[in-house]
Amino acid sequence: MADAREVELAVLRIAHGGVAVAELDGRVVFVADTLPGERVLARITDDRHDRFWRADAVRVLEPSPDRVPHVWAAAAVDRAPEHRAGGAEFGHIAPARQRSLKEEVLRDALGRIGGLSPDAIAALDPHVHAVPGREDGTRSRTRVRLHVDRSGRVGPYAARSKRVVPVEDLPLAVEALERLLPERARGRELDLVAAGGDAFAAGPRDARPPVVEHVGERAFRLEALGFWQVHPAAPEVLSRAVRAAADPALLDPDADNLDLYGGVGLLAAALAGDGDVRVTTVESDAAASAHAAENLRDLPRARAVRARVDAFLADDRRERPGATVLLDPPRSGAGADVVTAISASRPAQIVYVACDPVALARDLGTFAGLGWRPATLEAFDLFPNTHHLEAVARLVPAG
């Protein structure tokens, strides 16, 4: 970067990753902290690439009618970009517009990366649904990871950097976590967690006893710093979405149904229903798998297997006629090997839970090449004020 020059940009559309797209002298510019329809003064931060540059908005010249005061002052555009807190990149956008922009990204990914035709996308008609909680999306995180700089100051990283931004509030976190926010801490990271009716701060090496979360009338035991959905409404929302996505006409309770990347058994329990559905949940983390076995112990037809999903599928190459395969892979997606193995088992339907639209689209494209098509797709705004979303798709054999 030769210099941090500033340019005026007319913002055209949204892109994956929480940035918008503008053009300058025929070159694409990915610009942060703006939204389509605005004209902004932006500072070029990366001009090393021939095809695109990156920039940060530093002043809004012509605001969109969908721009609102940022829900987190520490992340607002009136701060210098290097001092803006990361993790709330859509916080300046009206909630309904946030969801419509996420829909645009999802639809674009399905076509450009997943290879779905415009007619197929139109038939799916995917929407990003609001979920229970505050309309502005604040107080929607029960787990927050903060970082500690060399002087002990605590805060998130600035966007797209490893620079710690000390903050005095955490409006996206539930109130109990904001009250725990320290000015200084030791170590390199600090997790703030609200779980099991308690709230605590812990470093990555701190030992904490397991906690218990409740979803409806069911209790789920998990490690205090283990994986659990961040939004307070997410476990119930996703459980209902999985039950709605699985076609009951194709869900054979006696088939060899699978829950892959199963964690502590949340979605396996959703698939199992009242316990009459046979389901095996597969999880590589030892503690989570042990908790899954305990959490599902009252469901006589459920079992938990500790294994890497790819290894489990490679070792167990049986066909599963009539089965429902549920998977909730990490943000990077399942990948071609896992997708191929699932397809080879010949299930009746596949229910795919995704937290990244590009990874979802990539895997759907792989499934399509193996003879599968998405029959339904719904998305949920479980990460308000960010570009993230959660989606649930059902796939069936094509033709």
Within a domain: 186: yes
Beta-carbon-side half-sphere exposure of residue 384 (alpha carbons within 13 Å): 28
**Partners of residue 27 on adjacent β-strands:** 24
Radius of gyration of the chain (CA): 22
- The structural domain count of the chain equals 3
Assess whether 243 and 195 both reside in one domain.
no
**Shared domain check, 309 and 160:** no
> Largest alpha-carbon pair distance within the chain?
65
Q: Which residues contact 140 (CB under 8 A, 6 or more apart)?
A: 133, 134, 172, 174, 230, 231, 232, 383, 384, 385
Q: What is the pLDDT of residue 2?
A: 44
Residue 261 marked as a ligand binder: yes
Residue 315 assigned to a binding site: no
* Per-residue pLDDT, 316: 86
Considering the domain boundaries, does residue 72 fall inside one? no
pLDDT of amino acid 48: 87
Dist. CA 37–CA 56, nearest whole Å: 16
Based on the fold, state whether residues 299 and 373 are members of the same structural domain: yes
User: How many C-beta atoms surround the C-beta of residue 49 within 10 A?
Assistant: 10
DSSP-based three-state secondary structure for 128: strand
Q: What is the pLDDT of residue 3?
A: 53
Same domain, 254 and 386: yes
**Domain region containing 17:** 6-67
Identify whether residues 60 and 151 lie together within a single domain: no
- Single residue among 163, 189, 214 that ends a domain in this structure: 214
Tokens linked to 262: 């199963």
Domain match, 159 and 257 both:
no
User: What pLDDT was estimated at residue 1?
Assistant: 44
Of 164, 182, 214, the domain-final residue: 214
Annotated active-site residue in 355, 382, 389, 395: 355
Catalytic: 168? no
User: Please, what's the b/e burial string for 144-166 (b: 16 or more CB within 10 A of its CB; e: otherwise)?
Assistant: bebbbbeeebbbbbbbbeeebbb
Reading the chain (399 residues) residue by residue, the pLDDT tens digits are: 445 799 999 999 999 999 999 999 999 999 999 999 999 999 999 998 888 999 999 999 999 999 999 999 999 999 999 999 999 999 999 999 999 999 999 999 999 999 999 999 999 999 999 999 999 999 999 999 999 999 999 999 998 899 999 999 999 999 999 999 999 999 999 999 999 899 999 987 888 999 999 999 999 999 999 999 999 999 999 999 999 999 999 999 999 999 999 999 999 999 999 899 999 999 999 999 999 999 999 999 999 999 999 999 999 888 999 999 999 999 999 999 999 999 999 999 999 999 999 999 999 999 999 999 999 999 999 999 999 999 999 999 997
376 and 289 share one domain: yes
The answer to whether residues 101 and 20 touch, using CB atoms and an 8 Å cutoff, is: no
* Overall pTM > 0.75: yes
Kindly state whether residues 193 and 239 are assigned to the same domain: no
